[in-house]
Structure 1
Amino acid sequence: MTDHILVTLEMQKEDYDLSLPKHLALSKLLDKLAQLYDWQASDRLELKSKQTGQILDKAKSLAQSGIADGDCLFVLIKTP
């Protein structure tokens, strides 16, 4: 059985690099979050929309997902 841990983060400029190109995929942001918060590479990370609660498509870009400074992101960590 897989456990799910939901972490709510209010993203600020110091938390991730807003100078990253807006076409960068969400998977790159998840990689940066994993490094920043020392999550294990084996943890499967997903981002949930604060508005709909839907899991965001990792293939979409930051711009397509509307991620901006101050947004509240829900990071779903699925651990084995």
Structure 2
Amino acid sequence: MAFPEPKPKKPELPKKLVQNLECKQGAVRAVRFNVDGNYCLTCGSDKSLKLWNPHKGTLLKTYSGHGYEVLDAAG
């Protein structure tokens, strides 16, 4: 009888504050992280999305030009 492969562990959320991001997007409507937590996307009332490295606190790219405030993002 073959045993199933163990499932990989899900990454755990940090128990303490890792980084404080200064988004400057007005109200931040949503924050989405990728699976391994190396990137995050913030959605703001200033009609932009911002891609971040949350560990370093660095802004990687700004996506602007949306007609309305950005309420959420899905992948």
TM range (shorter): under 0.3
Query: Where is the helix percentage greater, Structure 1 or Structure 2?
Result: 1
Higher relative contact order, structure no. (Cα contacts within 8 Å, ≥ 6 residues apart): 1
Superposition TM-score, scaled by structure 1 size: 0.25
Superposition TM-score, scaled by structure 2 size: 0.26
Pair member with larger Rg: 2
